[in-house]
Amino acid sequence: MDFIVRLGKEKDMQSVLNLITELAIFEKEPKAVEITVEDLLRDGFSENPQFKIFVAEQENNIIGIALFYERYSTWKGKTIHLEDLIVTKEKQKIGAGKALYTAVLKYAHDNNYNRVAWEVIDWNTNAVEFYKSTGATYLNDWSVVQMNKENLVKFIQNS
């Protein structure tokens, strides 16, 4: 393994944003990323951070990230949501994705979380098969529901 996995630092956030953008392009949503480096700095490194992040670093370059945050389940209690697990295309297949995934799961285990959950696009069969191979349960009978900012405003104005 010629890379390391560590907690992300403020200095990493431009590279983190670059990887988030790369993922959006891969997921066929190239214009969906609205956040900035400033948002990541404020939201990840303030007095009450909104997320934690592990980075995979190789030769002083960030090649992958796993961004996650705490949430609460009415059934399970304290849980983690893995928002994104990304390894830059040129560095896939060297084990960085599995190492980042393992770091998040170890963090959850070591800190007594009751579940780790995430979404995966169904056409990303490599990811689906990887997660299944690790013992993760694939819930194909649940759908993701979202309310974007524009529709949130419309809903509130019409309520």
How is residue 105 written in tokens? 């799961």
Strand partners, 7: 54
In this structure, the strands spanning 77-87 and 61-73 are antiparallel
For 19-35, what is the mean pLDDT?
Answer: 95
Distance CA 85, CA 64 (A): 7
Domains annotated for the chain, with CATH where assigned, are 4-157 (3.40.630.30)
Q: At residue 143, does pLDDT exceed 90?
A: no
pLDDT in tens, 70-115: 999 999 999 999 999 999 999 999 999 999 999 999 999 999 999 9
How remote is the C-alpha of 81 from its chain's centroid? 8
**Quick check: 67 and 16 in contact, CB under 8 A?**
yes
Phi-psi sector, 51: left (phi>0), alpha (psi -120 to 50), beta: beta
Q: At residue 1, does pLDDT exceed 70?
A: no
Which residue in the list 69, 107, 131, 138 is annotated as catalytic?
Answer: 131
pTM of this prediction? 0.92
Active site residue 113: no
pLDDT in tens, 31-71: 999 999 999 999 999 999 999 999 999 999 999 999 999 99
